[in-house]
Structure formats: structure tokens, C-alpha cells
Structure 1
């Protein structure tokens, strides 16, 4: 399992996010029986950039903390390299990471890991639009994050 990191902002999470996100992806892979050759992209953005993405692609005219675009949601997407399976892209608002960590009273590391995990589960087809779906997704999220970023 691989994560490709891109930054569209100089403001990055203040922890070893490469190691933490890889740990989360591997643990999610074990819990959900995912293929080992999956790849996703994480793009770090600022509030203005995620606001624009949210407005242009989701018709929601405000910034948010994380947005996921799953490759399997668009049937026109094809895999260029057969040995890799692209899950999609996770856009993380780095300012929201800090603001929400402060608001919820936990570490920046914990909030950053939570947002990555949440976005990853969306890429894997999980959602929280109904109470039943929310219970399933949030339970899995809790299991994945346990002992990874509990602080």
C-alpha cells in the first residue's frame, strides 16, 4: 500500500504524518482485507483551496476539513498501470487540522490522523449519510485509529 503526498500549501501537519498515515493505511488494509497494491494520494491544502474545491465539485460554498474523491466513483477512470490500483485523492485542510484539534481538546497528530482515516474510508466506499452507515463507518474508524493516534 502506497501513499503519494502532494502539498499545495506550506503549512503542513506538525507530526510524522508519512509514518502515521502509512500505519493507518496498512491497519485499514488488514481490517478490511484490501489488496496490498492500493495507492492513494494525499494533498495538503489551505482553507481557500479546499473552499474552491468544495464549491466547484460539491456545490457547497464553504471550506471544509477533508474531501475525498474516489476513483471508483467515476466509471471513466481507468488504471494506467496494472500493478497499481488507485483508490483516489484525499484533500486535507491543514488549517482545519489545527483549529479542530484545539476545539476538540486533542493533539494535532490525532486530528490529522482522524481526517486521513476518515478520507480513506470514503475512498473505500464507506459513508455516514444514514445512522446505520454512520455507525459502521465510525466504528471502523475507531478500530483503525486505536493505538495509532489516541493522544
Structure 2
């Protein structure tokens, strides 16, 4: 999987950027995502997180990670109106799956609050957002159990434990 990384803050260390790339590739392999998939990750500050959270989620506060899942639009590919295109084919035709915005301010705060390393917090946010853009959610107790269990499985298998 190809990951485009942008540090809008200029404060993210090279090891965190490298960990993010490797962890996302690992997570993609773990859930058997095709290698052709692409995504973007931007490291931002709380001010930018607040702006994006308001714009995309109508929530007037900063948050730790914003996940924007991308779903291809059949109209982009100029198919005959009567053709029905299977979701699998659409997914192959457009490899971009989405983007994550990770607040470095929230990551620092939460690492301290939870008593674990900054590397662990960035990894947790990265995998959490990645699972969201791949269809996982935690609105119900059942969904939460599935998503958080998978998230912990991936982090543990990668070697990023508490």
C-alpha cells in the first residue's frame, strides 16, 4: 500500500513518520487489503483539527484523529448509465481509500494521560483511523468490541504494546 505523508506542523520526528508508514503497510497486510491501495496521512495541530472537525463532523472542538473514508463515484468513470458496476470492480479501478488527520497536540496529551509512549499513541491513532476508512466503526457495543479487538491485535502483532 502506498501512503502519502504530510507533516503540516514540521514537528513530527523521522522515526514517527517511518513507524506510521510501516504500521499502515502492516495493518493493510493484516486485513488483506490489496497492495494497490493508497491513502494519505497528515499530521496537524489542534487548531487545524478543530477546523476539520467542524467542517466534516459538525463538532466544535479538536479531536485526536479524523478519518475520511473515500468511496469511488461511478460517475467519475463515465460508464453507460445502464451498467451496474460491482463494488469490487470499482475498488480496483480507484485505489484511493481515504485520509487521516492526526493531531500531534492530542497525541502528546493522550500519551501522557494514558501513561504510554508517544510512539504507542501515534500507532493507536494511526490504526484506529485506518480501520475507520476501511469500514470499521464503534457506534454499537458489538462494533466497538470488533474494532477495538482488531486494533489491539494489529498493534500487538506489530510489536507496539503498552
TM-score by length of 2: 0.82
Please list the CA deviations of residues 9-47 of structure 1 after superposition, one character each: whole Å capped at 9, or x if unmatched: 1222x4612332233223222322210111110001100
Cα shift at 1:57: 1.4
Q: Distance in 2 between matches of 1:18 and 1:58?
A: 26
Please tell me whether the aligned partners of residues 39 and 98 of structure 2 are also in contact (alpha carbons under 8 angstroms): yes
2:6 maps to what in 1?
Answer: 6
* Structure 1 SS opposite 2:40: strand
* Structure 2 SS opposite 1:16: helix
Cα shift at 1:76: 7.0
2:83 maps to what in 1?
Answer: none
Cα shift at 1:7: 2.0
Question: Max radius of gyration: which structure?
Answer: 2
Is the alpha carbon distance of 1:111 and 1:15 closer, same or farther for their aligned partners in structure 2, counting shifts above 3 Å? farther
Q: Distance in 1 between matches of 2:142 and 2:5?
A: 32
Cα shift at 1:101: 0.3
Cα shift at 1:92: 0.3
Q: Distance in 2 between matches of 1:106 and 1:25?
A: 20
**Pair 1:102 & 2:101 matched:** no
Q: Tell me, which stretches of 5 or more residues in structure 1 are unaligned?
A: none
Q: Distance in 2 between matches of 1:15 and 1:116?
A: 16
Provide the aligned C-alpha RMSD in A.
Answer: 2.1
Q: Distance in 2 between matches of 1:32 and 1:25?
A: 11
Q: Distance in 2 between matches of 1:114 and 1:85?
A: 24
Please tell me whether the aligned partners of residues 40 and 87 of structure 1 are also in contact (alpha carbons under 8 angstroms): yes
1:35 maps to what in 2?
Answer: 34
Please list the CA deviations of residues 25-74 of structure 1 after superposition, one character each: whole Å capped at 9, or x if unmatched: 232223222101111100011000000110111100001000010112x6
Is the alpha carbon distance of 1:54 and 1:27 closer, same or farther for their aligned partners in structure 2, counting shifts above 3 Å? same
Q: Relative to total residues, which structure has the larger helix share, 1 or 2?
A: 2
Q: Distance in 2 between matches of 1:111 and 1:15?
A: 16
